[in-house]
Amino acid sequence: MWFDAPETFFALPLGDTHQERMDRAQIFVRDLFAEGDEQIWEPAIPYYEALAEYLTDNGLSYSAVGLFSTDQGGVAQCAFTVAALETDQDDPETAARGILAALSTDPFNDVRWMDLPCGPAVSSVLVREVGLAPEITASGEDEKLVSGQIQVHIPFPTGPYTAVFTLNTTSVDYWGEFCDLMSAILKTVSFTEPDDREDLTLPAQRQGGPASERAATEPAGP
């Protein structure tokens, strides 16, 4: 499966071995904190290596941090992941209808059927509000943290797997922009290998830094 990722996505250094993740984490932190120095980079490298190990062990094929400049001079951010999960259905439409029925049982989910260029899919949108105690807020007063999640399930037409695309953000002032971003990514999902083979890299082979224009992922092994 292939999809396009924005250049402002910083793909986390997923890898099969500790040394692979450490090597990629070194590049990742230098790209992410481009204006930093060794005092910032060195303690960050083992943190992101450990995070990459955790994500890989939990079946993620791709994970990135998205950073976007705002008109007010700030930064809006999101976390974006892709996982390929094994299912018991070979037919994409049958699988999608089962996912739709299962997710619709949660009254807090906004669940919808989608017809993407690559086939049927199901989206689930959830907005949460969490109360923060005064002792953990900068203002010293009660505050509320609002976060939003967009999750889309896309059954593989080539086998009993489902791709799960998830975007999480607390930058809810830009919720509309993140919805548009997710929609744009989903329209590029393909289960047919593109002709520009030299531009393809598996997530486990990515070297950190801004995501290239084309990313690829495979179902996790047993």
- Cβ distance 97 to 37 under 8 Å? no
Is residue 221 assigned to a domain?
no
Name the domain count of the chain: 1
Whether residue 115 is contained in a domain is answered as yes
d(CA 80, CA 165): 7
> Is residue 66, in this structure, part of any structural domain at all?
yes
Q: Which residues of 149-181 are buried (b: 16+ CB within 10 A; e: fewer)?
A: bbbbbbbbbeeebbbbbbbbbebeebbeebeeb
Percentage of residues in the chain having pLDDT higher than 90: 36
Helix (H/G/I), strand (E/B), else coil: 6: coil
* Minimum mean pLDDT range among 64-78, 83-97, 152-166: 64-78
Of 207, 189, 208, nearest to 84 (Cα)? 189
More confident residue, 150 or 71: 150
193: in domain? yes
191 neighbors 176 (Cβ within 8 angstroms): no
Confidence at residue 197, expressed as pLDDT on a 0 to 100 scale:
36
Lookup: tokens for 23: 């090597």
pTM, 2 dp: 0.78
The model's confidence at residue 18, banded by pLDDT at 50, 70 and 90, is confident
Give the domain extent around 142: 2-216
Q: Judge whether 222 lies within some domain.
A: no
63 lies in a domain?
yes
Cα separation of 214 and 203, whole Å?
10
Q: In Å, how far from its chain's centre is CA 38?
A: 28
Could you read off the pLDDT of 153-176 as tens digits, one per residue? 999 998 899 999 999 999 999 999
DSSP code at position 219: P
